[in-house]
């Protein structure tokens, strides 16, 4: 199984997503109201602006909120709403520091069932049911994290061969299929 992510469609950003659990979680957090590639490039942009080759939950959690918001707003902005998303990224990192000693991978590392993992993801700040299910599907489909019942817990996002979300993106062709699915869903098409 190829355990690399290609959601950002930029090699350096995708490399970070593939090797950094915190980057992958942050990309998923940012994936709303902007194109998927923009959202999943955000963790790489943040790391570069911090002068790092990875994100550190302890560093981001403790960062001055105004300075972190300014870092996220710098052009090109990390998100269409850089201030509010900077706050959400910090809240996510603060939660990870408080509950997982800053280790994002610990969210899923010892989860025994898909239901347990879904609950843990749903508990993360900024992760509702849909976002948690999509990330669970991404873990299972792309990164080999497959506790018992993971597909069921991921709901329709866990379906084999579907093109519904970031969990199904493996390159430009599948990204186009996911985009087409989302557009059809918005129009109410079958």
Provide the 8-state DSSP code for 148.
Answer: B
**pLDDT beyond 90 at 157:** yes
Question: If you write DSSP's letter for every residue of 71-102 in order, what string do you get?
Answer: HHHSSSPSSSSHHHHHHHHHHHHHHHHHHHTT
pTM: 0.95
More confident residue, 91 or 190: 91
The answer to whether the CB of 169 falls within 8 A of the CB of 6 is yes
For 18-32, write each residue's pLDDT tens digit.
Answer: 999 999 999 999 999
How far, in Å, CA of 100 to CA of 90, rounded? 15
Q: What is the mean pLDDT of residues 161-186?
A: 92
pLDDT band at 67 (very low <50, low <70, confident <90, very high): very high
The encoded tokens of residue 74 equal 């710098």
What average pLDDT does the segment 63-89 reach? 97
Average pLDDT in the chain: 95
**Rounded Cα distance, 12 and 41, in Å:** 9
């Amino acid at each position: 199984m190829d355990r690399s992510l290609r959601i950002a469609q930029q090699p350096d950003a995708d490399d970070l997503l593939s090797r950094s659990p915190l980057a992958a979680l942050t990309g998923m957090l940012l994936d709303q109201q902007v194109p998927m590639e923009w959202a999943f490039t955000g963790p790489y942009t943040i790391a570069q602006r911090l002068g790092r080759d990875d994100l550190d939950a302890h560093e981001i959690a403790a960062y001055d909120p105004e300075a972190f918001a300014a870092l996220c707003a710098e052009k090109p902005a990390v998100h269409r709403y850089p201030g509010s998303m900077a706050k959400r990224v910090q809240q996510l990192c603060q939660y990870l520091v408080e509950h997982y000693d800053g280790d994002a991978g610990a969210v899923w590392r010892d989860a025994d069932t898909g239901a347990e993992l879904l609950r843990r993801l749903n508990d993360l700040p900024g992760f509702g049911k849909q976002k948690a299910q999509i990330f669970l599907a991404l873990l299972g489909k792309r990164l080999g994290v497959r506790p018992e019942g993971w597909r069921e817990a991921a709901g329709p996002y866990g379906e084999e061969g579907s093109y519904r979300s970031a969990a199904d993106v493996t390159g430009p062709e599948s990204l186009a299929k996911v985009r087409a699915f989302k557009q059809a869903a918005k129009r109410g098409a079958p």
